[in-house]
Amino acid sequence: MEKLEFSTIDLKHLIFFNQNDIACGNEDKELFLVGNKLIVELTRLILNFRYCSKEWCPCSPESGICSILDTQKGQDYLKEMEYFSECKKISEKLKGLLSEKVKLSEEG
């Protein structure tokens, strides 16, 4: 399975999206908090900040991202991202990460 790569450019676009489009243009403040949590976990993933070496351990950034996206607010956040060209690719990568987790849970 191909490893999904996230970059600091992805992180930059996600931060801009969360600060400009969600915080300033949306009355749902929970979406802003979801974005902040996602930014923290994506930063951990990009910089490889881990408590242990297991990729899908509950303490891993991959699991953190998936637990955020597995909520209704997480899904709402992904839908909002679809409207912005810079974030559409990031949204697809995040969905790919969720798919990877589902495949791994079905195998094991």
The DSSP code sequence of 16-77 is HIIIIIITTT-S-HHHHHHHHHHHHHHHHHHHT--SSS-TTSTTSHHHHHHHHHTSHHHHHH
Q: Determine the pLDDT at residue 4.
A: 66
Residue 80 token pair: 């909002």
Total domain count for the chain?
1
Residue 1 in domain: no
Residue 39 in domain: yes
Residue 28 in domain: yes
Model pTM score = 0.86
Per-residue pLDDT of the chain (108 residues; tens, 9 = 90+): 456 688 999 999 999 999 888 888 777 789 999 999 999 999 999 999 999 888 888 999 999 999 999 999 999 999 989 888 888 889 998 988 888 888 877 776
Residue 3 in domain: no
Q: Determine the pLDDT at residue 69.
A: 93
Range of the domain at 55: 8-102
Q: Determine the pLDDT at residue 49.
A: 92
